[in-house]
Amino acid sequence: MNDAETAPAGLNGPERGKNGQFLPGNRAGKGNPLNRRAQQIRRELLMRPTDADIGEIVDALIRLAKSSDLPAIREYLDRTIGRPSQSELVDRVEKLEAILTEKLGAVLPDDDESEDADEPR
C-alpha cells in the first residue's frame, strides 16, 4: 500500500479520493481545455470540406510539390508511400556501404595502412 491509499480522506482535499485522484463532479477534473478546443477544430476540419474541396487541396499540394517546394514534396510522399521504417533505413545504408566498398575498395587504404596514417610522423 502506498501513502495515498492509507491517508485519511480529507488529507488530499475534499474533492479527491484516497488515492489522490479527482472525485466525480470535481470542477478541476474536467480535463484539458486546450485539448477540448483542438478536438472541436479537428472535428470541423474533418466534417466541413466537400469532396470538391479535398480535390482542390490535393491539387494545390501536388502543384506545390511539382514546383520543387520541399515541404510539399515531403508531405505528399509521407501521405502516399509513408515514411521508411528504421530497419528499412539500416538496410539501405548497408547496401550503400557494400556498393561503395565494391566500387571504391581499390582506392581506399587498407585498415592497417589507415591506422598507420593516424600516427604522428
Domain boundaries, the chain: 85-121
Lowest mean pLDDT among 1-10, 32-41, 47-56, 100-109: 1-10
SS3 at position 42: helix
What global pTM score does this model have? Answer: 0.44
**pLDDT tens digits for range 49-97:** 999 999 999 999 999 999 999 999 999 999 998 887 888 888 888 999 9
Instruction: Give the model's confidence band at 101: pLDDT under 50 very low, under 70 low, under 90 confident, else very high.
Output: confident
Of all residues in the chain, the percent with pLDDT exceeding 90 is 35
CB 20 within 8 A of CB 4: yes
Alpha helices (H) along 1-121? 3-6, 33-47, 51-66, 70-80, 86-104, 111-118
Four-residue CA torsion sign, 56, 58, 59, 65: positive
